[in-house]
């Protein structure tokens, strides 16, 4: 029997930049710098001891009983009511302490943005599913792509539009779609649309604008299949990230391989990680699978 195996797993590592750094981590928490402000957040993967004895921070997220997102921010200094500006490459955006324990963007996606920018050319058609506040969409638009940004949250899409204005990209060819990602993707397939690249960052659980229920384990295989319909022999990539769920990178890598096998190309999988500034160790944050040509 012939066996088809995925290549060795990869690690895509975020290095700190001017407006972000992982300063220290350990004992189930992490200390990060966002611009000139520092915050402490829960991090179950940081099982080791931290490098520093004490952490000085502007605020800390205290988790509640609900491990999937419950909790509250305890702030130690006054923060701007509408957040404060940060920058990645040519993309400017607003950071703020959200009820979901993050600060309005995901810094561990930085190497993914760079990788995608390397896959596309001027005028490439790219879709960003579950696009949130648009930093990834603007990273693609800044590299010359025509972007379709899809998110079920009107609040998130409005924040993404404001980030586009901050980045001087309000005139870039970006379609801002407030829609259920799975339903929108299926409709695009029925319309005969195609894309050069697709990135999807689905939540573990979510609701669409009309109350649609999304559960990752149930919805991911069909969503990937609908994404496959939108790609052809001239397409360049499909990138999937998965957070906060007990799932293996090998599992989503095999799902990606089976979904994309008729198009050829290469399927890879692995982990996203952030390099800690004080010791250089890598803190794992998510798993990914990607197809490229």
pLDDT > 50? residue 219: yes
Residues in the chain: 293
pLDDT at 147 over 70: yes
Contact between 10 and 268 (Cβ < 8 Å): yes
Using the predicted structure, report yes or no on whether residue 208 has a pLDDT greater than 80: no
Does 270 map to a domain?
yes
In this predicted structure, what is the pLDDT of residue 2?
42
Among 58, 7, 61, which residue's Cα sits nearest to residue 29? Answer: 61
**Which neighbouring-strand residues pair with 149?**
128, 176
Judge whether 54 lies within some domain: no
**Residue 3 lies inside a defined structural domain of this protein:** no
Residue 26 has pLDDT above 60, yes or no: yes
Is 29 a domain residue?
A: no
Range of the domain at 156: 82-292
| Domain-embedded: residue 24 | no
pTM of the full structure: 0.93
CATH number at residue 277: 3.40.50.150
CA distances from 255 to 91, 168, 216, 239, 258 (A): 32, 38, 13, 12, 5
Q: How many domains does the chain have?
A: 1
> How far apart (Å, rounded) are the C-alpha atoms in residues 162 and 156?
10
| Mean local confidence (pLDDT), 50-75 | 86
Say if residue 68's pLDDT is above 70. Answer: no
Is 272 part of a structural domain of the chain? Answer: yes
What are the C-alpha distances in Å from 146 to residues 152, 171, 238?
Answer: 20, 11, 16
Q: Where are the alpha helices (DSSP H) in 107-248?
A: 110-119, 135-142, 154-166, 181-190, 216-229
| DSSP calls for 253-292 | HHHHHHHHGGG-SEEEEEEEEEEBTTT--EEEEEEEEEEE
Max Cα–Cα distance, the chain, nearest Å: 64
How much is the average pLDDT of 125-154?
A: 97
pLDDT exceeds cutoff 90 at 207: no
SS3 210: coil
On the CB side of 216, CA atoms within 13 Å amount to 16
Give the lowest-confidence range in 152-156, 168-172, 183-187, 244-248.
Answer: 244-248
What confidence score (pLDDT) does residue 51 get? 97
Residues in a beta bridge with 125: 146
* pLDDT over 70 percentage in the chain: 95
Whether 269 is covered by a domain: the verdict is yes
Rounded CA-CA distance 293/288 in Å is: 17
Q: Judge whether residue 216 has pLDDT over 70.
A: yes
């Amino acid at each position: 029997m012939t066996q088809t195996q995925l290549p060795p797993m990869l690690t895509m590592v975020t290095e700190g930049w001017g407006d972000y750094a992982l300063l220290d981590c350990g004992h189930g928490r992490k200390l990060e710098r966002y611009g000139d402000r520092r915050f402490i957040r829960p991090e179950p993967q940081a099982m080791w001891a931290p490098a520093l004895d004490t952490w000085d921070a502007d605020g800390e997220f205290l988790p509640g009983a609900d491990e999937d997102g419950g909790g509250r921010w305890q702030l130690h200094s006054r923060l701007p009511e509408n957040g404060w500006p940060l920058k990645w490459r040519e993309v400017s955006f607003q950071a703020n302490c959200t009820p979901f324990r993050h600060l309005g963007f995901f810094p561990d996606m930085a190497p993914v943005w760079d990788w995608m920018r390397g896959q596309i050319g001027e005028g490439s058609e790219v879709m960003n599913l579950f696009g949130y506040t648009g930093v990834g969409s603007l990273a693609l638009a800044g590299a010359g792509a025509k972007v379709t940004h899809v998110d079920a949250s009107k609040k998130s899409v409005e924040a993404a539009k404001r980030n586009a204005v901050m980045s001087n990209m309000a005139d870039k060819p970006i379609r801002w779609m407030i829609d259920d990602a799975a339903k929108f993707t299926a409709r695009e397939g029925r319309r005969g649309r195609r894309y050069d690249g697709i990135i999807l960052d689905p939540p573990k659980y979510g609701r669409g604008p009309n109350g649609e229920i999304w559960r990752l384990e149930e919805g991911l295989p069909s969503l990937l299949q609908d994404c496959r319909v939108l790609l052809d022999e001239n397409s360049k990539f499909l990138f999937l990230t998965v957070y906060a769920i007990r799932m293996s990178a090998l599992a989503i890598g095999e799902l990606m391989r089976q979904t994309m096998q008729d198009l050829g190309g290469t399927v890879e999988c692995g982990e996203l990680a952030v390099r800690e500034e004080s010791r250089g160790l890598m803190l794992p944050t998510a798993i990914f699978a990607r197809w490229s040509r």
